[in-house]
A and B are shown apart, each in its own frame.
Chain A
C-alpha cells in the first residue's frame, strides 16, 4: 500500500533515481503535514547536484508550493517571503522596482530555502559574502512542533546553524532578506582571456578592488605538457547610469520565446572525450573574440544556463557529478595547479569548469562553504568507478591543503574529508532536528 505512493526522484546531477514519498507543502499553516511525516528532508527546486535534498525510501517535503511574497519595504529594501519562492521570481518582481538580491549563484532557479540551507555564493563573494550574510531572520519549524523565529537577537545560534545547515536544523518556512539597490539591470563587463594560472591569480587579485563580480571559465584540458592553462576571465560592475538604456525595455527579462529546452536525454553523454577538446577550443576562441568591455543584462551575465531548460540532460542517462572544492589562499596557486594536473592525467574532462577566488569573508553559517582562497568547480559525466577514482585523488589534494568540498554539489566525498573540512561540525550536530535526515546526512554524519 505504502509502496504505491513512492515516486522516483532525482537531483540535478541525475545520478540516482530512488523512490521517495513526496509530501506537498502548500500552506505554511499545515505544519502537521511536516511533523507527521518524518524523518524527511526539504526539497526545493531540485538544483543541488548530489544527495543533500534526497532521502531514498523516505519522505521529502516538497516546498515549492510555499511561494508567496509577504512584504517588501521599499525604503529599507527588506523582503519577507515564503521559503519556496524562486530567486528568479524575486528578481523579476523587484528588479523593475530597483532592487536586487545581493548574492545569487549561477542559477536563479533555486528556492530561498535552498539558498539559505546551502549558503550559496555568487561572483561577488569578495564584496558581499554569501547568501546567508543577507538573511535578516527566518522562521524555522522543528518537527517536534515548535516554531523558532531566528534572527541576530533571538535564536542567533540556530540562525547560524541553519545558514548552510543543509536543511538539517528544521524546515525553513519564511525568511526576511536584505536586498540591494540597483539603478539598472545592466552590467558593464570586461572579458580577459588568460594563458596561465599565474595570470589568472594576478587578474583575480587586481580585479578585486575595482570589480564587484569576478569569475572565470577554465579550459581544464589546456594545461598539458608544454602548454599553459588557459581560460577566460570575466568581471563586471553594475551600471549606475539608469539612462544608458531605455528603462522601459531594459527591465524586460529574456522570457518565453527565447527559452530553449534540452528536449530529451540522449543515450550517451554528449560530453565525452571526443567532444570535449573541440568544445573547449571553440568556446575559448569564441569568448576570446569578445575580449574587452561590453554590456550585459544581469540575467544573461549571471545565469547563462537558465535559458536552456534541462541542460543536465546532455550528460546522458547516467547523469553527472559536480566537483567543487575550495583551497585556502596561502597555497591556492599550487593546489589548483595540482588539481588541474590530476584531472588532465585522468583523461576525464569537464566543459563547465569554473575557477574563482573568494574574498576574506568566511560564511556566517557553522557549515558554510566559502573560505578565503580559490574555488574550482567542474562537471564530470558519471563514469562510475572511473569518476570515483578520480575524485579520490582530488579529495587527497583538497585534504592535504586543508580545503573543503561544497556539500550542495557533492555526492561522493568521504566522511573524513567532510569532518576535516568543516571544523565547526561538532557544534552543528547538537543543533540538528532529530526528525530530519537526508542521504547526505547519513553518509557524512552517520544519521
Chain B
C-alpha cells in the first residue's frame, strides 16, 4: 500500500467513537486523508476524537455529526446531512454493542434493542450510502461485521446473529455492485481490546490490540479485499469453526 491511497480523501465514519473506528481514523489521518466526517449517537466524545485527529494531522478537516441511528426516517436524514458535506470516498460503518448473552435470553426488550443496533441500523446506513455511491459511481463502503457472525454459538448468538445478518446483507450488496465502481468491504474483527470488550478482558480473555486490528482494516481496504479478517489469523480459525461437524461443535464449550 502506498501513502497516496488516502491522500485528500473524504472519509465518513459512522459510530466514530467505537475503538476500532477511532484507530482506523488515526491511521487514515496519518496516511493523508483530506477530510473526515465523524458520526455518533452522541457528540460528547466526538470533539475529543476530533482534537486528537487534528493533532495527528494538522489541517485535517473534521466534521462531527450526531443523530438518529435506529429509525429509517432519521437515518436517511442523517445520511443526507453527511452527504451535504461532500461526496465520501470511503464510508466505514462501525457502530455496535456487545451484549451479555444471558441477559438477552432473559429480556426480549434487550434482545430487540441489540438486534436493532447491531443488525438493522448498519443495514439502514449501508443502504442509504450505497444508493448514493451507485448514483455518483464512486466510493468504498466498509462495514464492521464480526467473526461471531460466521457461526452461531451459545455464548453470544444474539450478537452473532446480528453480525451474520450484516454478512449476508453485504454479500448481497457485493453481488449487486459487482462490476460497478462502488466497492463493498466486509470486515470481520476477532475479539479486540476496546471499551466494548472491557468485561472480556477483565475476565482474562486474550484480545488483539486495537492498533493491530485497525492496521489490518485500513491496509485491507487499501488493497481492495472484499472480506477482511482482522487480525488475518481469524480467517483460518473461522474456516475450521464453520466446517466443524455439528456433533463435534455442539460438544464444545465456546
Interface positions of B from 139 to 193, Cβ below 8 Å from A: none
CA distance A193 to B51 in the complex (A): 47
B-chain residues with CB within 8 Å of residue A181 when the two chains form the complex? none
Contact with B along A68-88 (1 / 0, CB 8 A): 111110100001000000000
CA distance A5 to B204 in the complex (A): 8
Q: Chain B interface residue count: which class?
A: 10 to 19
B58 lies within 8 A of A93 (CB): no
> With A69-B55, A71-B55, A97-B58 in contact, do A23 and B202 touch (Cβ < 8 Å)?
yes
Contact of B201 among A4, A24, A74, A93 (CB under 8 A): A24
> With A26-B198, A65-B195, A97-B58 in contact, do A70 and B204 touch (Cβ < 8 Å)?
no
- A290 part of interface (Cβ distance < 8 Å): no
Prevailing SS type, chain B contact patch: helix
- B45 part of interface (Cβ distance < 8 Å): yes
B-chain residues with CB within 8 Å of residue A442 when the two chains form the complex? none
Contact of A68 among B30, B51, B202 (CB under 8 A): B51
B58 lies within 8 A of A26 (CB): no
> With A70-B51, A71-B55 in contact, do A27 and B203 touch (Cβ < 8 Å)?
no
CB distance from A54 to the nearest CB of B (A): 16
Query: How many of chain A's residues have a CB under 8 angstroms from any CB in B?
Result: 22
B195 lies within 8 A of A68 (CB): no
A-chain residues with CB within 8 Å of residue B45 when the two chains form the complex? 27
CA distance A7 to B51 in the complex (A): 34
Closest to A81 in B: B55
A27 lies within 8 A of B195 (CB): yes
- A8 part of interface (Cβ distance < 8 Å): yes
A-chain residues with CB within 8 Å of residue B52 when the two chains form the complex? 68-70
A69 lies within 8 A of B51 (CB): yes
A72 lies within 8 A of B55 (CB): yes
CA distance A74 to B52 in the complex (A): 14
Contact of A69 among B56, B195, B198, B203 (CB under 8 A): B56
Closest to B200 in A: A24
- B4 part of interface (Cβ distance < 8 Å): no
Query: Which one of A21, A23, A93, A97 has the greatest number of beta carbons of chain B within 10 Å?
Result: A93
CB distance from A87 to the nearest CB of B (A): 15
Interface positions of B from 19 to 69, Cβ below 8 Å from A: 19, 30, 45, 48-49, 51-52, 55-56, 58
> With A69-B51, A69-B56, A71-B51 in contact, do A5 and B203 touch (Cβ < 8 Å)?
yes
Interface positions of A from 46 to 74, Cβ below 8 Å from B: 62, 65, 68-72, 74
Prevailing SS type, chain A contact patch: strand
CB distance from B7 to the nearest CB of A (A): 13
A-chain residues with CB within 8 Å of residue B48 when the two chains form the complex? 68, 70
CB distance from A136 to the nearest CB of B (A): 16
A-chain residues with CB within 8 Å of residue B51 when the two chains form the complex? 68-71
> With A7-B203, A8-B204 in contact, do A68 and B49 touch (Cβ < 8 Å)?
yes
Contact with A along B192-210 (1 / 0, CB 8 A): 0011001001111000000
Contact of B202 among A22, A65, A93 (CB under 8 A): A22
Contact of A74 among B19, B58, B195, B204 (CB under 8 A): B58
CB distance from A58 to the nearest CB of B (A): 14
CA distance A22 to B203 in the complex (A): 8
CA distance A21 to B199 in the complex (A): 11
Closest to B219 in A: A256
A24 lies within 8 A of B198 (CB): yes
Query: Which one of A7, A24, A70 has the greatest number of beta carbons of chain B within 10 Å?
Result: A24
CB distance from B220 to the nearest CB of A (A): 14
B-chain residues with CB within 8 Å of residue A68 when the two chains form the complex? 48-49, 51-52
B-chain residues with CB within 8 Å of residue A93 when the two chains form the complex? 30, 55-56
B204 lies within 8 A of A7 (CB): yes
B-chain residues with CB within 8 Å of residue A8 when the two chains form the complex? 204
A-side residues, CB < 8 A to B, are 4-5, 7-8, 21-24, 26-27, 62, 65, 68-72, 74, 79, 93, 97, 256
Apart from the given pairs A69-B51, A70-B55, A71-B55, 8 other A-B contacts in the complex at a CB distance below 8 Å: A7-B204, A22-B201, A68-B49, A68-B51, A69-B52, A69-B56, A70-B48, A70-B51
Closest 6 CB pairs of A and B: A24-B198, A7-B204, A69-B55, A26-B195, A68-B52, A72-B55
B-side residues, CB < 8 A to A, are 19, 30, 45, 48-49, 51-52, 55-56, 58, 194-195, 198, 201-204, 215
A to B CB contacts below 8 Å, 11 in the list: A4-B203, A7-B202, A7-B203, A8-B204, A23-B202, A26-B194, A27-B45, A62-B201, A68-B49, A70-B48, A71-B51
